[in-house]
Homo-oligomer: A and B are copies of this chain.
C-alpha cells in the first residue's frame, strides 16, 4: 500500500517535471484536445506528443479515448490531492525546523548577552 502510494508519487511528480506536460495539463484544463491539437500547440511531432500524453496517462493525470481516427485527451481522475498534501506536510516540517533554528539562534544570542564581552574575539 505504501509502495503503491510511493510509486504514484514518483509517477505524478515525474509527470510534472516537464514544462511541456505542465502546459498540456493547463491546456486540458481549458478544453479537451486531440493529439494533433496538442502537438500543434506545443510545436512538436505527433509521436513526441503522444509520448508525453502517455506519461500523463500513466500518472493518472490524463485519460484518453479514441473514437474514429482521433484520440481525445481530457483530465484524468488524479487531482494531485496526495501530492499537494505531501508538499504541505513538508512545508510545515520546514517551518518547524526553522522555528527550532530560530530558537537556537535566539538562545545563543541570549547567552552571548548574558556572558558579556569577555567571549568576543
A101 to chain B, nearest CB (A): 9
B13 & A90 in contact (Cβ 8 Å cutoff):
no
A114 to chain B, nearest CB (A): 26
Known contacts A19-B10, A22-B9, A87 near B84 by CB under 8 Å: yes
A90 and B24 alpha carbons, distance in the complex (Å): 11
A33 to chain B, nearest CB (A): 12
- Would you call A108 an interface residue if the criterion is a C-beta within 8 Å of the partner chain's C-beta atoms? no
A90 & B17 in contact (Cβ 8 Å cutoff):
no
Question: Using a CB–CB distance below 8 Å, which chain A residues touch chain B?
Answer: 6, 9-11, 13-14, 16-19, 22, 25-26, 28-30, 75, 79-81, 83-84, 86-88, 90-91, 93-98
